[in-house]
Each structure stands twice: as C-alpha cells, then as structure tokens.
A and B are shown apart, each in its own frame.
Chain A
C-alpha cells in the first residue's frame, strides 16, 4: 500500500455480439473407438453415450456410456482423454452405482456429462437403482477426472420408486459476467414421472456447492394440460447472456398404450432460469412456452430396426446470438416411420420456420450444436438397408447448403445384447470454440469400410480379418458388440486460428484462444495496449504489457500508438494478420468507433511463428476536445480467419448487441482510464450511461462490491436520484430515450484498501452490461502529477471545444509545472493558489455561455478547493482538485454529446429501420420498404467501411423525402414532425454529429406519434 493517497482505476467492460459466419476450412474429422486397449476383451453394450469438452482446456474430454467397470465392481466408470480425444482411458470405478445388479443391466444409466467453464468442474447426472428396484436421480461433480481416483462430490439425490425423475440431461456453464460471476450454473432437465401431469422439469442450481441439495430447485416447466405427462426427453440450451431454453414434448392425447399425440414446446428464461422459464408465451393461446409444432405422433417404445423410438429432441442456441435457436425432434405414426425434423427461430423461440430445414426419414438420436462462428452441426443416426448411418451435417446458412460427413455405416446388430435399445436413446454433439466434438454408439466390427471418414481403434483388432481380440497376440477372438465412438471435427486448423489473448495472469496461465474466453476479467490484462510513444515496450515478469492512458491534445500531445500481440496454437503456414483498432467512452451502452483513419496495420507470421507483436504501433490521434476516459479494442482478421461479424464498429458492448469480445478470439478490449484521488478523502468518479435500446425505458443500474472493506459512499444520477451506497442496491434512470446519455457518479471516501464496485445494467432481472470502478490506494505525488496532467487537458479541452481561450493559459501553466520530474506539495499548493480563481472564471463563463445548469456541482467543488488551498491543506486540496477535474471532464462530455454524437449513427439508423419495419402506421407507407431496405444495407455495410459520415449523409439524403412524406401523413404533431424532417434536409452537409442530432430529434418525435 502506498501512503497517503488513493488510486481510482476505472475499468469498463465492453461486450458486443454477433450473428454471422466465417469461412472455415473444410472440417477434418477424426473418429475414434474409445474402448481402451486394456479393455479389449469387453463385449458389453456400451451405448447411450454422452461427451463433454472442458472449455478451460479443450484437450480434456470426458465421455460416458453404459460401460460397466472392467474391473468387475458395481461402481461406475467414466471415459476420459487428455489429448483432445485421440486416446482414451477409463477411470477407476468411482461413480456410485447400484448396490447390487438385481434386474438392472448397468450400475448406473441415463448418464449425462457436462463441463462448466472456468471452474474446471465436471457435472454428472445419472440414474441409479438400488437393490430393491428403487431408482434415484443423482447429480454430482468431479473436481479432476485425471486424479486417481477422481474425487466425486454428491450434489443432489432425488429418490424415486416406480416413478422417478427420468432421463436427466446436464448442461452447465460458468458465469463470466454479471451477478454470480465465477459461479457455475447447472441445469438438469428431466421427465419427473413422480408428478401426475406436466412432468417436464428442470433442476437448476445457480451455485451448485455441496452439501446436497446444493441449491438445486426443481422447476416444472410445463404449465399446460397434458394427457398425463410429457415425453422423456427434456433438453436445455444455455446462452452465456443468461438466456436459457428448454424443449420438451407435451403429450396431449393417447397417454394410454399406443401412439401418443404430442406438441413440441419451447420455454425460455432470460435470467438463467431464475424466473421459472416463463419469458416465452405461445403466440396462439398465450400460455407459457411456444408450441413449435402440434399434432405430432409419437410411437413410444416402437422400434426402428432394433432400436426403440419415442422421444428424440435436441436444441442448441447460437453463442453469438441468444435469439437464434435450432431444434430437432422425431415423430412418426410407427417406429419404422420415425422421422427427424429440424427448424429454427431467430426471435428467441417465438416464431419458427413453417417448413423443415431438414427432414431425415428412418432416423433417430438427433444432436445439435452451434460453434463460436455460428456454424450448426446436426448429428443423427439413420437406418438404411439394415445399417445405422451416423451422419453429421454442418451448415452456415440454415441448411440452405450443408456439408455432410458419414461417420459410421454399421450393421443394425446387437451382439449378445437382446434388449430393445442397443444403441441407446441418445448420442451427443457439442461445440467448443470453432470445433465440434461428438459421440455415438454403434456395432464395432473392425472394418474400415464401415467408417468412410477414417477410424482409430485402440482395442485389439485386425482390420484385415475384421476381427476383435482380447489379447495382444490376437489369439483370443472377441465377439463384436456395441461400442462408443468419439469424433472431433476441426473447423479451423491451429495454424490458421489467430487470436488476441483476453487475459494473461502469468507466462503459464493465460488465454489460449478458447471461445468463449475463460476468465471473468478480460479487460484488464488483454493483449492490446496503448502507448504515448511508438514503442511497444516489453512484457513484465508475468508476460503482461502495460498500457498508457489515452492521450488527447494538440499535435503530438494527442498522439497514441496502439499495439497488440497475436498468437496461434499451431505453425506451418505463413500468414498476414490485419488489426483494426477501436475506441469507446467509459460507461455502459456507448458504441465503439474507429480509433483512427490510418490503414489497418498488419502482423506478418512466418511459417514457424506462433506469436507476433505489432512492431510499429497503430497511430491514432485524439484532439484536445476528447475525454481521456475510454477503452480501446482490437479485432484481427486473416483471409481464412476473419473476425465474427458484425464488426465492433458502431456496436454497443453488451446489451442489446451481445458479448462479442469473449465469444470471438479475434477480438480483445482493454480499459485505458486511470486517475487518482486521496485516501481518507472524498473521491468521485463518473460513468456515461447511454440507452442503446431502440425504445424508451427505465434503465436500472445495480451495484455491488465484493470487498469486505467498509466505506461510506453515495451513488447519484446527475440531475436525478441520489442514495447512500449499499452493496447490492440499485438505482433507476427513469424514462431514458433511445440514444440519451446520463451520468452516474460514485462518490466515496477512499479507504486504505482497494474497493472494486461493479455496476450492472439490468434488463428485467438479467444483468446485460456493466462496468467496474476500482478505488485503490496510491501515493500523494502520484495524485499531484495526475491532477496536473488532468488539469492541463481539461482546460485545453474547454478552450478547443467551447472557444474559452483562457483555458489555453491554464493548460500551459500546468504543462509547465509537469516538466519537472516531481512536483512538491509546496509547488503544487502554489500552483493552485495562482490558478483556482482563473479556473473558476473559465468555468463560470462555460456555464453562462452554454446556458445550462451546473448539473455536476462544479462550482461547489471549486469552492471546496479554494478553501483547502487557503488552509494550506495539500491533501484536501489534491482531493478536491481531483473531484473538480472529474466533474469538469464529465460536464464537458455532456455538453459535447448534446450537440450530437457520430458514435450513435448506427443506433439511429437501426432505430428508424425498426420503426418503419414494425410500426403499422409506418409499415404501410409506400416508401417504408425503401427506408427498410436501404437502412439494412447501411447497417450490414457499416463495419466494413471507413467512410461512415459520407455514407450516413448519403443514406439520409435518400430517405429524407420519405421522412417528410411521413410527417405529412401524421395528423398528430404534423407540424413538429415536418420541421424536424426539414432540419435533416438542412443539415445534410453539416457535421456527422449535427446530422445525428437532428436525425435523433426527428426520430424522437416520430416514435412518440406512432407509439
């Protein structure tokens, strides 16, 4: 801890998201029979498999099947790989199974596995039958599958008897932002036949920590009438933003023996399931859950070939777009006619394709996954001519075109097994970053012709004689049976996949390019940094590059040089990587803009290079009118590895756009804003709150601190509510219009320890965006130097922004003092005595000229500064000086933003596109189609071009006639609207800021009229 002062480090987290596709290399697939060599004599039915990839380490993969312990115990085993699925092991027996094999074939069944995220925890759901035939649903977690034996901790047990929670299906994720950051959220969907009706259920825990029930609560998700129950398969899809979908088959008739009648239903919760999955209502009868299709025939327990049918559902959400969701299901009048269907929704499950995207006859066991680039994988097993064909189809355009891979083509044989369910009721496909991983079961004859895309067997085999053996000498022939087969589709080779680290903790603990990123703090030590001079610097002992604050000023004083370090995990090919740098203000809801106008720099990778640092920084300049409170971002691209569109340009980090930084390893972002204040004295910081929505709303900010340090504070909306700081409380910014800016202040007394305060922008109960203010101790000399730098910049900014020429002298005086390497307390006090009054005059003139209120109470801070100076209290003076400068910076930004903001151009275009697209009074106008089409083109092209201002003026020039026509057609506010439309026409040649301002004023009036 440094003495006598406090450091305020303000960190903004910028998130943004996308829907789009990259040109991935043609997928290379590896198929592996995962029965280990040491278990070569096994002839069990190793079916109904599940697979999961550890997001924190994709080389670590776990899989399950009905494989009993080869060691002969009645305790369960799990397959695992430590090399990305190339080789496999079976764990020691460690999963509690049935106490005795009475009538049950396996020790535990209906197994489902899922790794969460950064926690490295593996969640296991399964059914276990006791010696008396009673079945319970068990949920547990495994801390390290490779430890011998792995440690399994029970999280939940739901006992049953004849009826029980059936077919548990586990999904899990680690929260990377918002409430519960760092916690795992775990979902165990099941069909709880203990209920009389409406049996589709989800057991979920927002923090599954023992002892049982570990926070698990059972949600019944079907609120409508069933004929007795829902189908066994209940599936979830979890998006990192907290949107969770659940799909199930609601049985509406025929619950007795025979074919059931059913409807396929999707429910949704926008806040991790906390709301009980009631956020999606049927567009027909308004009941909870949208019916995707009705009148399905379910041939429950009838067979297709040797395999029973009856309940096949898969669902997946696009990691880049929480509103895009795919679903697959099976139905048929008979088992032999069982058919799979695939459809999708792009509006959060409200509307679905009217026709199938894919229809697969005589098929079952659908699986769906969507990778980080929005590519969809559809896995299924189709019975053709007595053979099970296991096929995975991949598409980047909703199956208009798809690439198909036949993974296996094996006989519908059962080996020694005589039951109804040889290959199991499901298989599994998942996405990890760009790649797909999956598992299926099939007959294991050692014949390469059965595996058209290649096969690897670890167990003893002879592909020539098509035989399996128990021994190395191949003298003991083993009968063919059902085995689990793993597959891995590499969508992009490691040498083609370039990334910017989102975080680096040390030389050995850092981002390896996973998508999504696996560290909650992705804006602190990311591989993008800024320099005041064109020198990248060197990494510290922890392999981290330090950053300078953003420079803003005249000439070289406003020069910045952006750097980035780019990695790839493989070598072997040369490549040129371009880097595009962006900047955004500090706060929430503001959009990124291009950092500069120079061409994007490139990093040239030789064939053997795995890392490159930009050798010459990207030059960008901020003139004296800019605030230095900002963050920068970079998005890299190559021809084979472009960033996930859309570009960050014009995108709002976080809601409503998405979470692009963590989802795309081509993007990274870092805070630049550092300023100082005094320990034991009052400090203040401001954040700009921008309504990025296309509608008016009450913007709710929740705030909390994780520190145990006690401190007094206050949260204040400038011009609005003010309340004492209490961690977990919230404050409301009422009636914010689209594009409106407000400021929130956190004022607190700096204690002796760092105090991070997280602010979250809320959408209902969901945290959708945020920023962090960290107050930490620092030394008085540092505060003095920073205050002087800020003083120089703040008054120069006033001079250039509002023609307050006296500001230049104020700035120059501070710059003069800064030429000394250190400034003593006496020198500083002397400076303040000489300059507090001239500064006050400038501020008075500013308020007078701008005809505005002193909303930030700058004059009050000025008075406090003067008093401290008169008392020769240097600490109080430094504190009040810092407060004054923070207030002045925010006030200046407010005045600038009031004149329009080029950063909001894209939002305004989206807004009028939305109005003309969705408001009936505008939609029916003759010119509305032109507005919508041309605006959509503008939106699509926005991130691809640099000439935003020219394109914007061109667009409004094309549309302003329609705006005028619109105004004329509106009876209400006709004149106001017409004037606003004319203002657009008058300002087509004006600055982009001015044009945006009049455009927004027109839209505010239009939205009010057509509401």
Chain B
C-alpha cells in the first residue's frame, strides 16, 4: 500500500481549525495560529522529543559540535511518509541556538530532515515546550498543512483559463511520433460541458490534450477515459503547444464532481481578492 503524501494530514481541505492551545515560549502563553502555521510550513518533520546527549551525533559521517544534540523521538506529530517509523528512534538534532537544550529536556521540535543514514539528522526550525495533551497541537498542524494544500489548489484555480464540469465523450490518441522517452504521447479528450465555473463558455464541448505517457515526466498528470465525469481546471501549458490547446496536467487540475462547491468557493475567494 502506498502511503499518502502526508501521513498525519488528518483534516480535509477547508476543515475548521481548532483554537490555539499552546504557547511558543511558555506553557502559559498561547501561540498565535500564524506562528504555528509558519513553523509547520517550514518543517516537514514535527515531533516531541527528549534531549539525550548534548554535543553528540549518531551518524558516523557527522562530527559533533555545540549545535548537535541526540534526541529521542517520543511522539511523532507529522512527517513525510517514508519517515513514519521515527517514533522511538534517536535522531541528531542541529539546534538553532547552541546551549539552549539541557539533557533530559522535552520539547516539540519543528524540523527539516537533512541527512539520512543509519539515523536521521534534522535541523531545528523552531521549538515549543511539550504539551501535556497533543491533540490540539495535532489539529493545528493538520490545519496548517491543509491550508498549504488549499493554497496550492487556489493557485491552480487562479491560473486556470477555463474551469468546467462535464463528461468525457471521446478520447482520441494523436499518434504523433515520439522523439524522446519523455514524450507525452498526447491524446485528445472531448468533454461535454455541463457547466462553466470560470472563463467563457467555449461551446457545447471543449477538447483538451492530456499525456497518455506514464513516463516519470507525465506520471502524475491526470489521464482521462471515456465516460469520466468531473471538474477540470484547464490551462495553456506547457510552452510549445498551439495557443488554443488546453490541458489539465497537474493532479490538482481534475476533481470529482462532488468537489464542485469547493472549487466554486475558491473561484469566489480568488475573485474577491
């Protein structure tokens, strides 16, 4: 089974965000959402850890210095899929402020992975005191991740020249010669339009190009089949195509019909901006 891009991404887009429960500096102060959000965005790996040994490393290619601390991961709050097994492991932490940690100290570490060997080395982007209950922190992290994903989708909505809902009526491979193993092997998909969310109605149908190739260059690009219904965020990319050709190359460019209200909401918020 392939894991999702964010193992701990628990909330759907537009999920409501729980109120802040933790402080940046002391347990008594509550951290503003924005600061948590920024830390989360810059930190793919977030965990609660305990400092085991100061000025030490546990990768043989590293040399210990004032900034390095061996930290045990006691609870993993968020990490990319390949690092989901970090809980219980010791990592080398490159602290932001040498001398700021003492042995035995427990904290929430917002980090970036920088060296992957027999152990992991992470660079600290920020630090919070460890909370007694992590549930609300997890929610904040998930919300921040969701917001980031949401912004990516919003960017695609903004850059789309045409957003339509409809059904694929026909798929026609172009059969162009392939000059490279990375050639897209373009096909046309004729979409019968049921509604237009953005842009001018092009007619009853719109014909778009999509890559049939599953080469790494086009692997993530949505592939379409006859009878498929959904909502398309259509762009004029990549360069080199005739100007009137529309494509939906990003995984964010095609969604099931039930996402139509959400897309509409993004279009609306984009136009307000």
Interface residues on A, range: 35 or more
Asked if residues A106 and B216 are in contact (CB atoms below 8 Å), the reply is yes
Please tell me if B25 contacts chain A, counting CB pairs below 8 Å: no
Please tell me if B112 contacts chain A, counting CB pairs below 8 Å: yes
Interface centre among B1, B216, B249 (most CB of A within 10 A): B216
Please tell me if A801 contacts chain B, counting CB pairs below 8 Å: no
Asked if residues B117 and A38 are in contact (CB atoms below 8 Å), the reply is yes
Per-residue CB contact flags for chain A residues 802-830 toward chain B (1 = under 8 Å, else 0) read 00000000000000000000000000000
Interface SS of chain B: loop
- Identify the closest chain A residue to B156 (Cβ): A102
Per-residue CB contact flags for chain A residues 7-49 toward chain B (1 = under 8 Å, else 0) read 0000000000000000000000000000011111111100000
Per-residue CB contact flags for chain A residues 85-129 toward chain B (1 = under 8 Å, else 0) read 001111111000000011111100110000000000000000101
Per-residue CB contact flags for chain A residues 625-653 toward chain B (1 = under 8 Å, else 0) read 00000000000000000000000000000
Give, as a whole number of angstroms, the nearest-CB distance from B227 to chain A: 20
Give, as a whole number of angstroms, the nearest-CB distance from A199 to chain B: 8
Which of A43, A148, A193, A199 contacts B82 (CB under 8 A)?
A: A43
Interface residues on B, range: 35 or more
Asked if residues B2 and A479 are in contact (CB atoms below 8 Å), the reply is yes
Asked if residues A43 and B115 are in contact (CB atoms below 8 Å), the reply is no
Give, as a whole number of angstroms, the nearest-CB distance from B116 to chain A: 4
**Cβ–Cβ < 8 Å partners of B158 in chain A:** none
**Cβ–Cβ < 8 Å partners of B85 in chain A:** 40-41, 460, 469-472, 476
Which of A127, A162, A416, A418 contacts B214 (CB under 8 A)?
A: A418
Asked if residues B181 and A71 are in contact (CB atoms below 8 Å), the reply is no
Please tell me if B177 contacts chain A, counting CB pairs below 8 Å: yes
Give, as a whole number of angstroms, the nearest-CB distance from A874 to chain B: 60
Which of B61, B119, B219, B249 contacts A37 (CB under 8 A)?
A: B119
Please tell me if A864 contacts chain B, counting CB pairs below 8 Å: no
Asked if residues B239 and A105 are in contact (CB atoms below 8 Å), the reply is no
Which of B2, B115, B181 contacts A415 (CB under 8 A)?
A: B2
Asked if residues B61 and A82 are in contact (CB atoms below 8 Å), the reply is yes
- Identify the closest chain A residue to B219 (Cβ): A105
Asked if residues B117 and A71 are in contact (CB atoms below 8 Å), the reply is no
Residues of chain B from 209 to 263 with CB closer than 8 A to chain A in the complex: 211, 213-221, 237-241, 249-251
**Cβ–Cβ < 8 Å partners of A38 in chain B:** 83, 89, 91, 116-120
Please tell me if A256 contacts chain B, counting CB pairs below 8 Å: yes
- Identify the closest chain B residue to A229 (Cβ): B179
Residues of chain A from 141 to 178 with CB closer than 8 A to chain B in the complex: 146, 148-149, 161-164, 166-167
Asked if residues B237 and A301 are in contact (CB atoms below 8 Å), the reply is no
Which of A66, A70, A129, A425 contacts B80 (CB under 8 A)?
A: A70
Please tell me if B62 contacts chain A, counting CB pairs below 8 Å: yes
**Cβ–Cβ < 8 Å partners of A109 in chain B:** 216-217
Please tell me if A73 contacts chain B, counting CB pairs below 8 Å: yes
Which of A39, A162, A228, A232 contacts B238 (CB under 8 A)?
A: A162
Asked if residues B240 and A419 are in contact (CB atoms below 8 Å), the reply is no
Asked if residues B250 and A161 are in contact (CB atoms below 8 Å), the reply is no
Asked if residues A162 and B80 are in contact (CB atoms below 8 Å), the reply is no
| Distance A973 CA – B174 CA, assembled complex (angstroms) | 74
Per-residue CB contact flags for chain B residues 145-189 toward chain A (1 = under 8 Å, else 0) read 000000000000000000000000000000111111110010000
Please tell me if B37 contacts chain A, counting CB pairs below 8 Å: no
Knowing A39-B83, A71-B45, the reply to whether A90 touches B216 (Cβ < 8 A) is: no
Which of A71, A110, A228, A415 contacts B179 (CB under 8 A)?
A: A228
**Cβ–Cβ < 8 Å partners of A232 in chain B:** 180-181
Per-residue CB contact flags for chain B residues 70-90 toward chain A (1 = under 8 Å, else 0) read 000000000011111111110
| Distance A809 CA – B1 CA, assembled complex (angstroms) | 97
Asked if residues B2 and A257 are in contact (CB atoms below 8 Å), the reply is no
Asked if residues A472 and B88 are in contact (CB atoms below 8 Å), the reply is yes
Give, as a whole number of angstroms, the nearest-CB distance from A773 to chain B: 45
Which of B181, B219, B237 contacts A425 (CB under 8 A)?
A: B181
**Cβ–Cβ < 8 Å partners of B116 in chain A:** 36, 38-39, 70-71, 77, 89-90
Interface centre among A73, A87, A92 (most CB of B within 10 A): A92
**Cβ–Cβ < 8 Å partners of A683 in chain B:** none
Asked if residues A132 and B239 are in contact (CB atoms below 8 Å), the reply is yes
Give, as a whole number of angstroms, the nearest-CB distance from B69 to chain A: 16
Interface centre among B118, B121, B178, B179 (most CB of A within 10 A): B179
Residues of chain A from 53 to 94 with CB closer than 8 A to chain B in the complex: 66, 69-73, 77, 82, 87-93
Asked if residues B179 and A134 are in contact (CB atoms below 8 Å), the reply is no
**Cβ–Cβ < 8 Å partners of B88 in chain A:** 471-473
Please tell me if B113 contacts chain A, counting CB pairs below 8 Å: yes
25 A-B residue contacts at CB 8 Å? Answer: A43-B81, A70-B116, A71-B83, A71-B116, A72-B44, A87-B118, A89-B117, A90-B116, A93-B114, A103-B217, A103-B221, A103-B249, A104-B216, A104-B219, A110-B182, A132-B238, A135-B217, A162-B240, A232-B180, A257-B178, A415-B2, A418-B214, A420-B214, A471-B89, A476-B84
Residues of B within 8 A of A (CB): 1-3, 44-45, 59-62, 80-89, 91, 112-121, 175-182, 185, 211, 213-221, 237-241, 249-251
Residues of A within 8 A of B (CB): 36-44, 66, 69-73, 77, 82, 87-93, 101-106, 109-110, 127, 129, 132-135, 146, 148-149, 161-164, 166-167, 191, 193, 199, 228-229, 232, 255-257, 300-301, 308, 310-311, 415-416, 418-421, 425, 458, 460, 469-473, 476, 479
User: Which 3 A-B pairs give the minimum distances between C-beta atoms?
Assistant: A133-B238, A470-B85, A471-B85
Q: With A36-B117, A149-B114 given, can you name 15 additional A-B contacts, CB distance below 8 Å?
A: A39-B82, A66-B216, A71-B83, A71-B113, A89-B115, A104-B219, A105-B216, A132-B237, A162-B238, A162-B241, A193-B180, A229-B179, A308-B181, A311-B181, A471-B88
